[in-house]
Structure 1
Amino acid sequence: MFSVFEYVLMAVYVAVLLVVSRWIGQQAFSWMPPQATAEAQRVDDLFSFLVSIGAFILLGLVGVMVYAIAFHRAPPEDYTEGHPSRGDTRLEILWTATPTLLVVWIAFQSFNIYQQLNILGLKQIVHLHTPIESASAATISDVPKPASETIDVFVKQWDWSFRYPNNVTSNQLHLPINRSTRLNLQAQDVIHGFYVPEFRLKQDIIPGRDIDIVLTPIRAGKYRLKDSQFSGTYFALMETDVYVESLNQYNQWLTQTANSEQTPVNQAVAENIQPPKTLFNSGWSNQLKIENVKLKIARRSRTR
């Protein structure tokens, strides 16, 4: 049995662990890019909590091992085994219930973040293969979250394009600050990935399926949209600018863009158009492009 003094020492040690682990969890906010959306705040809060829990467990285990080595070291030539901790019902319940409740709470918080993003278009028809209802199917309906406006996002090799209200199109993404905006993501050839690190959002875009997400920018600035999927040659260059600005600046940009012609600005497209820089011009670059076009035509004819 522990003495009263030992119980007090354990309580003080646990209190110190809580303070230190909480401090480490707060430092985790600086490990991430700036928070540019309201949803990013929820993601960082959950990440900070996980870091705090991990620090508490790590420091707690290290402290117990150091204490055991310092004060409960076996004497020389003592090879007897220690007392087993089997059969303690309270201990079994503690180390079973605590991780279970922790994992359930983390799953619940993650689900709430997805609910806030309101990602639609991922649910498919579920076919029930049962003896009674072998040919029946159930469809889960998506309930859209209200948003101030909708922007269509089109992606293909190797270009991002955006269609705004009043059919304004651009190769840059502009978002009004402090307003919920719905992005309708559409891939026109292969699987792509919508990824803005400051938004804490990385969503796969699947061909033939409209995927909607709702986000609320809260930090004005210029960010970078990347393709998180390996979508082919030059996929790493598939980037474009994202601007979060005031509503007045956003409306002014829409007016200017509607009255001007947009020229594609994409390094991947430029790299694909230009022939490779070699010492001798063998013509292999043009031949490969011709073969790629033939392959695409053959695939389309098969699908028809």
Structure 2
Amino acid sequence: MTTTATSGSPRPWAVLLLLAAVLSDLAASFWMAAQSHRWLPVAASAAAGPVDDLFALEVGIGSFIFLGCSGVMLWTLLFNRAPKYDLDNGDPIEGNLKLEIVWTVIPLVIVMLIAWKAIAVSTTLSTLGGKVRVSGGHAAMHGAEAPAAAPMAADATAAANPIDVIGRQWSWEFIYPNGVHSSELHLPEGQRSFLRLSATDVIHGFYVPAFRLKQDLIPGSVIDYSLIPTRAGRYRLRDSMFSGGYFASNQTDVVVEPPEAYEDWLAEALRQPLRPAANAATDLYNQRLARGDRGWATVPPAPPPLVHVSADPEAPHES
């Protein structure tokens, strides 16, 4: 005498099939999470690791949900379709308290897991120092004494003498403690660099994809910021906030080099004469004027800053 499964209970082969599908979904999701690191720009700062791990977690969870839902829909389409001319409604499913608890608890756990990881990453990346509200234009802002960021390295002198980062329509200017002015940012590899961010006109975004860091520059505020470049190379700094007609041209390079090379560059740059920086926005605006200043109204670009070292727009960068 053979024993058959009771009505309504799952058959053993169905349980095994469901288990195999869940395990396959998990394996594919772990693989997708591991692959996600390859989708991002090269990692060039201490912040990149925690940010990339958070992204991988989100990719893994998203892949598991997407593949699971897609699998259920595909199975339904292939094996549980209604007959061709069946127009009846499906059986009503209501009042299943267990099911409602499950589909409430699972999203709650997922969201709390992502939130816990995001808070941990945010704590790790706590690089912001004081933010000072000043009045009187950029001259007052540039001379404002912002509270120094809490030194997170042994070199407190660097925290007391940050690099000034000035965003404007549409150019970047960097002023170093020794008086060097540059339109490209140079940083020493492996050392925490302290920056003092300000904007002269509208909101700009200090964003270096290779560093996984972004900070808004707010007019009327001075913001202390710090980062640790970990890989020598040339990377792209982009204005991540829409700041007017030519904001897409408001890009420059960040050059990370060994500390000895960085010091040599500072000394050599100081010996160069001041000259207007190369500026794509000015070139584009002059082309507009040559065509009769037609089209949508736009704000004239601010004069290019006078710098000892101007960024080379043709220099190749990694990301």
TM-score by length of structure 2 reads 0.73
Aligned mate of 2:71, from 56, 63, 67: 63
Specify which of 220, 226, 229 is matched with residue 214 of structure 1. Answer: 226
Instruction: Choose which of 89, 110, 113 in structure 1 pairs with 2:118.
Output: 110
Structure 2 residue aligned with 1:44, among 46, 49, 52? 52
Matched, 1:146 2:158: no
Q: Classify 1:112/1:273 alpha carbon distance in 2 versus 1 (closer, same or farther; 3 Å).
A: farther
How far has the Cα of 1:272 moved from its partner?
4.1
Indicate the residue corresponding to 1:189 in structure 2. Answer: 201
Q: Alpha-carbon deviation of 1:151? A: 1.8
The CA deviation at 1:13 is 1.3
- In structure 2, relative to structure 1, the CA distance for the partners of 1:83 and 1:156 (3 Å cut) is closer
% identity of equivalent residues: 40
Distance 1:292 1:229 in 2: 16
User: Equivalents in 1 of 2:289, 2:197: separation in Å?
Assistant: 32
One-letter code aligned to 1:184 = R
Question: 1:65-100: per-residue Cα shift (whole Å, max 9, x none)?
Answer: 2333444444575836326153333x3222212211
- Structure 2 contact 170–301 (Cα < 8 Å) conserved: no
- Looking at structure 2, the residues matched to 181 and 51 of structure 1 have their Cα atoms a distance apart, in angstroms, of 31
The residue number in structure 2 matching 1:135 is none
Select 1:179's aligned residue among 182, 185, 191.
Answer: 191
Q: Which amino acid aligns with 2:189?
A: I
2:237 aligned with 1:229, yes or no? no
Give the distance between the partners of 1:257 and 1:73, measured in 2 at CA.
Answer: 73
Q: Which residue of 2 aligns with 1:82?
A: 91
Question: 1:7/1:276 Cα in 2 relative to 1: closer, same or farther (>3 Å)?
Answer: same
CA distance in 1, matches of 2:16, 2:111: 30
Residues 168-188 of structure 1: CA distance to partner in whole angstroms, max 9, x if unpaired?
322210111122222211111
- The aligned amino acid for 1:167 is G
Q: In structure 2, what residue type is equivalent to 1:260?
A: Q
Give the AA of the match of 1:170.
S
**Residues in 1 aligned to 2:268 and 2:149: alpha-carbon distance in whole angstroms:** 34
Unpaired runs of 5+ residues, structure 1, are 125-140, 294-304
Q: Deviations over 1:117-149 (max 9, x none)?
A: 42345699xxxxxxxxxxxxxxxx997352443
Instruction: Tell me the TM-score normalized by structure 1.
Output: 0.77
| Number of the residue aligned with 2:100 | 92
Which secondary structure state, in structure 2, belongs to the residue aligned with residue 182 of structure 1? strand
Q: Deviations over 1:41-81 (max 9, x none)?
A: 22222222212211111111122223334444445758363
Amino acid at match of 1:43: V
Question: Residue 181 of structure 2 aligns to a residue in which SS?
Answer: strand
Contact 2:148 2:224 in 1 (8 A): no
Q: Distance in 1 between matches of 2:219 and 2:87?
A: 68
Q: Do the aligned residues in 1 keep the contact of 2:47 with 2:211 (CA within 8 Å)?
A: yes
How many residues in Structure 1 have an aligned counterpart in Structure 2? 270
> In the alignment, residue 79 of structure 1 is paired with which amino acid?
D
